[in-house]
Amino acid sequence: MDNFGYVAQSAFPLVWIVVPAIGAFLRARHVTSAQERLEIWQRWWAIGAFGIGSLWMTVAFLAFPDVMATAIGFPRTPFLFEIAFANLGLAIMGFRAASASARERITIGLGGGMFLWGALAGHVYQWFAGGDHAPGNTGGVLVNDLLIPAVMIVLAVRSRRLAAAPVRAV
């Protein structure tokens, strides 16, 4: 694979972080309420990063298992089918998080984090122990696996704290 192709394929997963961040930024830029701005960010993150990003992975692993196996540097095995449905579970949780309470969003972030952070550890292990430098193993997927649940948790914790803070008189 040429360098441009490798970089493009490696960086593609970042679209699931960048697009929701840009969308939330543009939508929230004129909002004056901190709570409303935080809610906008949480919904964009839940739907875009967690929901649509995971749904994309579901479709990719089900419809194009050979392409995905090559992208991650693994042979095609039944494991790819399992990854597809694990991602479907994440997608459903992400879509649910769009209208969830802060407490539920923390739980959804932690639940998704268990899978994604475990996948992150597996990618890093395969990178160093197995020499797997495939673009789907060492690129943007590492950033996604780390940040998608972490950002959801941080935003939800911030939302809980903001809701619990006393309102100041103006």
Distance from chain centroid for Cα 17: 7
3-state secondary structure of 170: coil
Q: Provide the CB-side half-sphere exposure for 83 (13 A, CA).
A: 22
Cα–Cα distance list, 164 to 6, 39, 51, 135 (Å): 47, 15, 28, 43
Give residue-wise pLDDT tens across range 50-81: 999 999 999 999 999 999 999 999 899 999 99
Rounded to two decimals, the pTM is 0.91
pLDDT digits (tens, 9 = 90+) for 146-161: 999 999 999 999 999 9
Phi, psi (deg, nearest 5) at residue 31: -80, 135
Q: To which residue do tokens 């996604």 refer?
A: 144
